[in-house]
Amino acid sequence: MTPTREDFIDRIRLELNTRGWCQGRLYDKHTGGCCLMGAMYYATFYYHNHGINLPAGVIDGVGAELEEATGDTDTVGSWNDAPERTFRDVMELLDSL
């Protein structure tokens, strides 16, 4: 099985729902939560750790879609970390891709 873009986005969503969401860091060692970019890393590690080839084009493509969707000229991380950002915003962003 080769994961599709949709599979990867679903896995990112699952990582956020399972671990919880945080701001200001990729991973919060106290709560176990992760930011949007951290969830992308965990999703990537999931496939790697299960011996499933996740094409680089899928990872890069979703990253580019996130950058475009956030309109962020700096990083997706700064969008995630904006004080007004909520978990719901993050999930709605993933739903919009």
pLDDT for 8-34, tens place per residue?
A: 999 999 999 999 999 999 999 999 999
Higher model confidence: residue 45 or residue 72? Answer: 45
Q: What residues make up the domain containing 70?
A: 5-96
> How many structural domains compose the chain?
1
Q: Average pLDDT of the chain? A: 94
Sign of CA dihedral 43, 49, 55, 60: positive
Sign of the CA dihedral running 75, 44, 9, 63: positive
